[in-house]
Amino acid sequence: MALAPFEIRPGRDEDRLPLAILFAAISEERDGIASEPPVDVEKRAARWALEGMFVACAGDEIIGWIDVARSPHGYGEIGMAIAREWRGRGVGSALLEAAIAWARESGLHKLSLSVFPHNAAGIALYRKHGFVEEGLRAKQLRRSNGQLWDLVDMGLLLSCQDDEP
Ligand SMILES: CC(C)(COP(=O)(O)OP(=O)(O)OC[C@H]1O[C@@H](n2cnc3c(N)ncnc32)[C@H](O)[C@@H]1OP(=O)(O)O)[C@@H](O)C(=O)NCCC(=O)NCCS
């Protein structure tokens, strides 16, 4: 497939609202991300932490994001999503590569994330970039329809030191 014209750049303050609108749209799918509607767009816009945030843009439109929440314990926790019509075009890979590079530069020793077991695209994307399954949290999330969904934990070690207690 021809490369789609998109660019990856760090998130900015003015991205907050479009990001929150995209987040709300993806939550409507009730499938890949944990949040479900209703999303309070104004509150969500205010909550983004811009450190460790990268956005994918096509022209003026924000079509995806990845954020790395830096923990005080040296690892970063990833969240990401791509607008439905842009999936399968390499946007997720480009964002993940930017986040991994940022995490290395920032001295994080590990990246972690949680993904639903049915999210084949997500799991394949993370495996492709070196993440491995580390465990399953059974019936972790209660959905608005009452179902209890498992979560798969995945991780990518960026630097290794065997210093267990
Ligand atoms: C998961 C998600 C981020 C993937 O992003 P994307 O831009 O579609 O992924 P890419 O096009 O960069 O694909 C990268 C790799 O992922 C895998 N992949 C992508 N779509 C896939 C699919 N539908 N089925 C299986 N594997 C898939 C492939 O390994 C692909 O590499 P390849 O093109 O060399 O085969 C995207 O589907 C999404 O936003 N989903 C909804 C929200 C979500 O699930 N967020 C993650 C929560 S943990």
pLDDT, one tens digit per residue, over 135-157 is 999 999 999 999 999 999 999 99
Other Cβ atoms within 10 Å of 95 Cβ, number: 25
What would the mean pLDDT of 64-92 be, rounded to a whole number? Answer: 98
Q: What is the pLDDT of residue 102?
A: 98
Q: What is the pLDDT of residue 4?
A: 63
Q: What is the pLDDT of residue 158?
A: 97
What would the mean pLDDT of 97-111 be, rounded to a whole number? Answer: 98
For residues 115 and 126, the answer to whether their CB atoms sit within 8 Å is yes
Q: Which of 93, 112, 119, 154 to mutate to test the pocket of ligand 1 (most atoms within 8 A of CB)?
A: 93
Q: Which atom of ligand 1 is nearest to the CA of 116?
A: 48
Q: What is the pLDDT of residue 93?
A: 98
How confident is the prediction for the chain on average, in pLDDT? Answer: 96
Q: What is the pLDDT of residue 27?
A: 98
Q: What is the pLDDT of residue 161?
A: 72
Nearest CA to ligand 1 atom 41: 32
Q: What is the pLDDT of residue 3?
A: 54
Q: What is the pLDDT of residue 34?
A: 98
Residues in the ligand 1 pocket, defined by CB under 6 Å: 26, 32-33, 80-82, 87-93, 113, 115, 119-122, 124-125, 128
19-68, pLDDT tens digit by residue? 999 999 999 999 999 999 999 999 999 999 999 999 999 999 999 999 99
